[in-house]
Amino acid sequence: MAQHTYWGSFEEISKYNVSLNYAEKMWLAWYTYMQNDVLATGIMSFVMHEAVYFGRSLPWIIIDAIPWFRRYKIQQQKIPTAWEQWQCALLVLFSHFTVELPQIWFFHPMCQFFGLSTTVPFPSIYKMAFHIAVFFVLEDAWHYWTHRAMHWGPLYKNIHKIHHQYSAPFGLAAEYASPIEVMVLGLGTVGAPIAWCAITGDLHILTMYLWIVFRLFQAIDAHSGYEFPWSLHHFLPFWAGAEHHDVHHERFIGNYSSSFRWWDYFLDTEAGPEAAKRRRERKLAKLKKVQ
Ligand SMILES: [Zn+2]
Ligand SMILES: [Zn+2]
């Protein structure tokens, strides 16, 4: 009888699997309780995505409502109104339920097909950190090229324009985009781990979840519109952050990558007045050499 509730199956599992840690027991209890792996993975991933997306956006909504924080706002004149944020949240929520939810049911079969592990024990923290670092680098490359392509006239007009509705972005606007864009850019987030697993045969679905959580944090924070003295890119100069992506929304050209600055730096697509100045100086130096 005890297995009919989640905590009942948790107790049962705890009795026979003493070597597992608390999180691993919770994980196993969830799959045992659900009795349907596709549903178990589907519900878990959808709930996790919603909780992280809106949970991470909430602090930014509060910060937007507190005038003291204005000093750290990148585009100081453009504070999103409560109405704007509400409209954005509704549209994002609508697309989560209509576009993303149906796809999530393919998630578990796809993971199984490519050999992702869903069992316990979990991989070590070092292995997960290594995998997540690899995915950050791969996704950033995918994002740079697909996002840059989306700024090509016809693709911009028909797909990417929606995401650029807000020239001063805010956290909730991270996934405010056409369903086609969500799918194409999302392929970098989901496809990088899948490709990794197809090649190495070594990936746990928990690592995939944690990666998606970090990626959501990255995307929402990059759209926050705030630049602090303690922002990550001050300590990791190649980290993009809000300062990088805010200029993209303000100027529409340049700064195409998601997490890192290297692609824009090496391919000379950095946005903003400082980058333009550097470009001019380089051109002048070249002209002088020719003369
Ligand atoms: Zn763009
Ligand atoms: Zn954006």
**Confidence bin at 77 (pLDDT 50/70/90):** confident
* Residue 60 clears pLDDT 90, i.e. is over it: yes
Q: Higher pLDDT residue, 70 or 278?
A: 70
The candidate with the shortest Cα–Cα distance to 215, out of 135, 117, 103, 118, is 135
The reported pLDDT for the residue numbered 57 is 95
Q: pLDDT-based confidence at 24, cuts 50/70/90?
A: very high
* Res. 23: pLDDT tops 90: yes
Cα separation of 185 and 220, whole Å? 15
Q: How many helices (H) and strands (E) does the chain have?
A: 13, 0
Structure confidence at residue 3 (pLDDT): 60
Please classify residue 61 by burial: count the beta carbons closer than 10 Å to its beta carbon, then call 0-12 exposed, 13-18 middle and 19+ buried.
Answer: middle
Ligand of minimum distance to the alpha carbon of 242: 2
Q: In whole angstroms, what is the distance from residue 256 CA to residue 150 CA?
A: 10
Which listed ligand is nearest to 151 at the C-alpha? 1
Residue 260 has pLDDT above 90, yes or no: yes
What distance in angstroms lies between residue 151's CA and the mean position of ligand 1's atoms? 6
Q: How far is the CA of 32 from the centre of ligand 1 (A)?
A: 43
User: By the 8 A CB rule, do 88 and 173 touch?
Assistant: yes
Give distance in angstroms: CA of 114 to centre of ligand 2.
30
CA of 159 to the centre of ligand 2 (A): 13
pLDDT (tens digit per residue) in 38-57: 999 999 999 999 999 999 99
Tell how far the Cα of 150 is from the centroid of ligand 2, in angstroms: 12
Measure 284 CA to ligand 2 centroid, in angstroms.
32
- Choose among 174, 118, 105, 188: nearest CA to 146: 188
What pTM did the predictor assign?
0.90
Q: Which residues does 265 contact at the CB level (< 8 Å), separation at least 6?
A: none
